[in-house]
A and B are shown apart, each in its own frame.
Chain A
Amino acid sequence: MKNKSNFSTEHLQYLKKQRNRSILVNVVRIAFLAFLLAVWELAAALEWVNPFITSSPSRIVKTIGDLYTGGTLFYHINTTLTETLVGFFIAVVVGYSVALLLWWSELFRKISEPYLVVLNALPKIALGPLIIIWCGTGSEAIVFMTVLIGLIVAILNMLGGFMATDESKLLLLRSMGASKWQTLTKLVIPSSLPTFISMLKINVGMAWIGSIMGEYIVSKAGIGYLIVYGGQVFKLDLVMSSVLILCVLAAVMYALVALLEKLVVKNVD
Chain B
Amino acid sequence: MKEVLRFENVCMRYHSKQGETVAVENLNFSVKEGEFTAIIGPSGCGKTTLLSLAAGLLKPTQGKIVTSGVSFGYMLQRDELFPWRTIEKNLYLPLEIKGTNTLEQRNKALELAEKYGLKQFLKSYPSSLSGGMRQRAALIRTLALNPDVLLLDEPFSALDYQTRLNVCNDVYKIIRQEHKTALLITHDISEAISVADTVFVLSKRPAKIVAEHSVVFLEDEPLKRRENKEFSKWFEILWGELNA
Contacts and interface: CB of A to CB of B under 8 A. Distances in A.
B74 A269 contact: no
Contacts of B28: none
Interface in A125-139: none
Nearest to A268: B84
Interface string A169-189: 101111111100010001100
Contact of A176 (B52, B83, B94): B94
B219 interface: no
B122 to A, nearest CB: 15
Given A175-B55, A193-B84, A267-B83, A168 B97 contact: no
A168 B153 CA distance: 11
B98 interface: yes
Given A176-B98, A177-B98, A186-B93, A267 B125 contact: yes
A65 interface: no
A160 interface: no
B76 A172 contact: yes
B225 interface: no
B125 A168 contact: no
Contact of A190 (B84, B97, B125, B127): B84
Interface string A229-269: 00000000000000000000000000000000000001111
Interface string B29-70: 000000000000000000000001001010000000000000
Given A175-B55, A182-B97, A186-B96, A168 B82 contact: no
Interface string B75-89: 011101011110000
Nearest to A179: B97
Contacts of B74: 171-172, 175-176
Interface string A206-238: 000000000000000000000000000000000
Contacts of B72: 175
Contact of A174 (B57, B73, B84, B127): B57
Contacts of B183: none
B84 A176 contact: no
A8 to B, nearest CB: 23
B145 interface: yes
A269 B97 contact: no
A166 to B, nearest CB: 8
A239 to B, nearest CB: 46
Given A171-B57, A176-B145, A177-B98, A269 B80 contact: no
* A177, A187, A193, most chain B CB atoms within 10 A: A177
Contacts of B57: 171, 174-175
A176 to B, nearest CB: 4
Interface residues of A, number: 21
Interface in B126-142: 127
| Secondary structure type dominating chain B contacts | loop
A243 to B, nearest CB: 40
A171 B75 CA distance: 10
Nearest to A166: B80
A169 B145 contact: no
* A173, A175, A182, A267, most chain B CB atoms within 10 A: A175
A102 B145 CA distance: 33
Contacts of A178: 97
Contacts of A187: 82
Contacts of B93: 176, 186
A177 B80 CA distance: 16
Given A175-B74, A176-B94, A169 B82 contact: yes
Contacts of A168: 76-78, 80
Contacts of A193: 84
Contact of A177 (B78, B84, B85, B97): B97
Contacts of B125: 267
Nearest to B145: A176
A169 B97 contact: no
Contacts of A171: 52, 57, 74, 76
Interface of A: 166, 168-169, 171-178, 182, 186-187, 190-191, 193, 266-269
Given A176-B74, A267-B83, 13 more contacts: A169-B80, A169-B82, A171-B52, A171-B74, A172-B80, A173-B97, A174-B57, A175-B72, A175-B74, A186-B82, A186-B96, A267-B84, A269-B127
26 contacts: A168-B76, A168-B77, A168-B78, A168-B80, A171-B52, A171-B76, A172-B74, A172-B76, A175-B72, A175-B73, A175-B74, A176-B94, A176-B97, A177-B98, A186-B82, A186-B93, A186-B96, A186-B97, A187-B82, A190-B84, A191-B82, A193-B84, A266-B84, A267-B83, A268-B84, A269-B127
